Chain A
Amino acid sequence: AQSVTQPDIHITVSEGASLELRCNYSYGATPYLFWYVQSPGQGLQLLLKYFSGDTLVQGIKGFEAEFKRSQSSFNLRKPSVHWSDAAEYFCAVLGAAGNKLTFGGGTRVLVKP
């Protein structure tokens, strides 16, 4: 069965500093990988996705993620964080069979002024 682990429950970062959120997945074949962001009281917004091809994926709001098969990881990065990036971030994996999306537990990001 597929699974996703986000090791960091909370991360605090200063505005303007870089941000990296970790995601590790478990899946037997090539996974489809996603990062979503959830602002307080809101639904999930898709930041970026990886299906195939270039392992460095660009997304919205200045985010990027890198797929590393050898490490079973899909870490999310942003070079310079803005106060509006304070939110909860979810990594998810979609298996090749069916359309069942499995989410990690989420990482809550707090941005300090």
Chain B
Amino acid sequence: ETGVTQTPRHLVMGMTNKKSLKCEQHLGHNAMYWYKQSAKKPLELMFVYNFKEQTENNSVPSRFSPECPNSSHLFLHLHTLQPEDSALYLCASSQGATMGEGETQYFGPGTRLLVL
């Protein structure tokens, strides 16, 4: 499998559930990202990881908890979400640690999340 994959593609959860989104990249990249895409807002960067270290947290509520066990995998753990958290969550990766063309980001297909 090539590129950036995300599972599950669709997820419905209640406000008291705990679930996790998974992202895997097969590009040999070292930087990974989580974005949120809502119906009415531009794409919002949530988290950035470079070489497994979190380098950016864009004021994301603590009910979203990222985890990056290695450079190929990125998780987003979800707990006690609100209906307004319903959105498309996109994962991306880039070569990382280098400027220029190495910072081109490649996106996965996203997980469509509905919080009831």
Contacts and interface: CB of A to CB of B under 8 A. Distances in A.
B104 A46 contact: yes
Nearest to B45: A100
Contacts, number: 52
B43 A94 contact: no
B106 A46 contact: yes
Contacts of B31: 99
Contact of A99 (B4, B48, B108): B48
A49 to B, nearest CB: 6
Contacts of B108: 43
A44 B6 CA distance: 13
A41 B101 contact: no
Interface stretch (A14-22, A54-62, A72-80, A102-110): A102-110
A24 B106 CA distance: 22
B66 interface: no
B58 to A, nearest CB: 9
Given A42-B109, A43-B107, A51-B101, A101 B45 contact: yes
B105 A101 contact: yes
B106 A99 contact: no
Nearest to B50: A99
Interface of B: 4, 6, 31, 33, 42-43, 45, 48, 50, 55-56, 90, 92, 94, 96, 99-101, 103-110, 112
Given A100-B45, A102-B45, 18 more contacts: A32-B103, A36-B107, A41-B112, A43-B109, A43-B110, A44-B92, A46-B107, A49-B101, A51-B100, A51-B101, A90-B43, A98-B48, A98-B55, A99-B94, A100-B48, A101-B33, A103-B42, A104-B42
